[in-house]
Amino acid sequence: MKKLFLFMQTVVVLSFLFSLSCADKTKTIYGTWKLDSKSSTDIVTVRHRQLEMKIQKKGEAILIVHNWLSRNKIASADSVSFIPGGDAVKVPVTSQIWPDNWYMGVLQKSGTIITFRGSWKEPDRELALAKEQTVETSQGDTKIKTTQSFKLDRRGNKLIVIEKRSSRPTPIRLVFDRVISEQ
């Protein structure tokens, strides 16, 4: 019985070590990503528009660009550049359209500021982003706090973004597939 137990432990440990060796540590979150709506939280936005996200490293800064596509053309775009672990970045709101949430009748408040702050959980593979903004609803203005966790899967081909909003009881799970560009 002890030999069987020892054998089973060895198999489990070897399986675990094998799975770790399959992880592609050379891949990073940088690149172009396309939303996989079937694997993501069902939000109305994905039925009408396709989200493409680009994450780039610019020196110490990280640039995240969201392109909301409609019929393969950019219908709306937004971006933020920040230094992980650095000072908060303040971006003025110039449009009431809140692409992440346009279907709910919640609008960004023009003339206000969105504050972003980011940090690495694991450099080049896992990123945390927090933002604070004022939105307009039918009941009046309210401040929304959002945290996003960007995590690369073990093989480096999927990016999972977990978004938690102060206005929503359940997290939003967005799964992105890496876009392989043709050379």
Give a yes or no: residue 5 inside a domain.
no
Q: Which candidate, 136, 94, 95, 144, places its Cα nearest to that of 115?
A: 144
Give a yes or no: residue 136 inside a domain.
yes
Give a yes or no: residue 13 inside a domain.
no
Give a yes or no: residue 87 inside a domain.
yes
The answer to whether the CB of 133 falls within 8 A of the CB of 112 is: yes
Q: What CATH number should be reported for the domain holding residue 110?
A: 2.40.128.20
Give a yes or no: residue 147 inside a domain.
yes
Give a yes or no: residue 9 inside a domain.
no
What pLDDT does residue 22 have? 45
Give the chain's domain count.
1
46: pLDDT confidence band, cut at 50, 70 and 90? very low
User: What is the model's pTM?
Assistant: 0.78
More confidently predicted of 90 and 49: 90
Q: Which candidate, 120, 140, 135, 138, places its Cα nearest to that of 166?
A: 135
Q: What's the domain range around 54?
A: 25-178
Give a yes or no: residue 129 inside a domain.
yes
What pLDDT does residue 183 have? 41
The answer to whether the CB of 79 falls within 8 A of the CB of 67 is: no
Q: Give pLDDT tens digits for 66-107.
A: 887 777 777 777 889 999 999 999 999 887 777 666 556 777
Q: Residue 176 pLDDT more than 90?
A: yes
DSSP-H helix ranges across 23-90: 45-48
